[in-house]
């Protein structure tokens, strides 16, 4: 018999380079399922299929890269300078991401897992807070975020700033979060703060009575 209750759903979000994926990895190592919406999003444009074809139909063959899928750098230059184009790309990508996420949630529910976390970069931008029992936001200094993305992904400052301009501000994130993780020190501090924030979020929801989450 499948379990009758769905897993508790937590949202994890934050701006580019804030440390979301690092927190997601810490929570995964603590034994929880974290669904990576950015990874699902990348697959839509990096794997040949109807997502790639829908993007080419909307934006043109010049956005097809050498491997037949989407040239991400060219697409980034377009959509982070043009909100209408960005909206169209989001409609193409996010509907397919939602389908993939729903499939992962079904797997979590059938396995009887008590918790799923969505690592979801655009949770606040898309106004999706109501879908979550609680929303946890990762914050870091703007300059640290820019420096880390430039250093670790070989992108330039202009690229990072164009994406920041397409995302909500930190004040808006603070206003709408249930809980904050300040990624303002080293990795050890981030680990401690992430585990503390998760326990506190679950505690506030009364979820720690579930022995599987202790």
Ligand X SMILES: Nc1ncnc2c1ncn2[C@@H]1O[C@H](COP(=O)(O)OP(=O)(O)OP(=O)(O)O)[C@@H](O)[C@H]1O
Give the residue numbers of the binding site for ATP.
17-22
Candidates 9-17, 41-49, 66-74, 97-105; binding stretch for ligand X (CB under 6 A): 9-17
Q: How many C-beta atoms lie closer than 10 Å to residue 165's C-beta?
A: 11
Q: How far apart (Å, rounded) are the C-alpha atoms in residues 12 and 132?
A: 10
Where are the alpha helices (H) located in the chain, listed in sequence order?
A: 20-29, 37-46, 50-59, 72-79, 83-110, 142-153, 157-164, 170-176, 187-204
Q: Which is nearer to ligand X, 20 or 118 (CB)?
A: 20
Q: Whole-number minimum distance, CB 121 to ligand X, in Å? A: 5
Judged by beta carbon, residue 12 or residue 89, the one nearer ligand COD is 89
Among 10, 16, 44, 181, binds ligand X (CB under 6 A): 16
Q: Which residues between 152 and 171 bind ligand X (CB under 6 A)?
A: 152
Total residue count of the chain as it appears in this document: 214
* Locus of tokens 């059938």: 110
Q: Cβ 49 to ligand X, closest distance in Å? A: 23
Angle between helices 37-46 and 50-59 (to 10 degrees): 70
Q: How many residues bind ligand X (CB under 6 A)?
A: 16
CA 176 to chain centre: 16
Give the one entry of ligand COD, ligand X, none that residue 166 binds, where binding means its C-beta sits below a cut-off of 5 to 8 angstroms depending on kind. ligand COD
Of 202, 214, 208, 197, which Cα lies nearest the Cα of 136?
197
List binding-site positions: 17-22
Please pick, from the candidates 7, 8, 10, 21, the single residue that binds ligand X as defined by CB under 6 A: 21
* Shortest spacing between CB 4 and ligand COD, in angstroms: 30
- We find the least distance from the C-beta atom of residue 211 to ligand X, in angstroms, to be 30
Q: What is the DSSP string of 123-158?
A: TTTTT-GGGSSEEEEEE--HHHHHHHHHHHH---HH
Q: Of the two residues 52 and 198, which places its CB atom closer to ligand COD in the complex? A: 52
User: Min. distance of Cβ 89 from ligand X in angstroms?
Assistant: 16
- Is residue 72 within the footprint of ligand X (CB under 6 A)? no
Roughly how many angstroms between the first and final C-alpha of the chain, as a whole number?
25
> Of 181 and 213, which CB lies nearer to ligand COD in the complex structure?
181
Chain residues in the site for ligand X (CB under 6 A): 14, 16-22, 38, 121, 148, 152, 183, 186-187, 190
């Amino acid at each position: 018999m499948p379990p009758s209750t769905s897993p508790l759903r937590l949202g994890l979000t934050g701006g580019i380079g804030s440390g979301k994926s690092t927190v997601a990895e810490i929570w995964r190592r603590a034994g929880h399922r974290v669904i990576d919406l950015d990874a699902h999003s990348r697959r839509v444009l990096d794997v040949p299929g109807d997502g790639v074809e829908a993007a080419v139909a909307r934006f043109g063959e010049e956005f097809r890269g050498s491997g037949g899928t989407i040239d991400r750098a060219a697409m980034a230059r377009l959509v982070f300078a043009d909100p209408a184009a960005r909206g169209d790309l989001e409609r193409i990508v996010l509907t397919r991401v939602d389908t993939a996420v729903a499939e992962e949630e079904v797997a979590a529910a059938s396995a009887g897992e008590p918790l799923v976390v969505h690592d979801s970069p655009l949770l606040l931008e898309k106004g999706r807070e109501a879908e979550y029992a609680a929303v946890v936001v990762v914050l870091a200094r703007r300059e640290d975020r820019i420096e880390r993305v430039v250093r670790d992904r070989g992108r330039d400052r202009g690229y990072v700033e164009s994406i920041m301009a397409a995302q909500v501000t930190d004040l808006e994130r603070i206003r709408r979060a249930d809980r904050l993780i300040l990624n303002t020190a080293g990795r050890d501090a981030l680990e401690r703060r992430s585990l503390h924030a998760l326990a506190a979020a679950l505690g506030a929801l009364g979820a720690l009575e579930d022995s599987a989450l202790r």
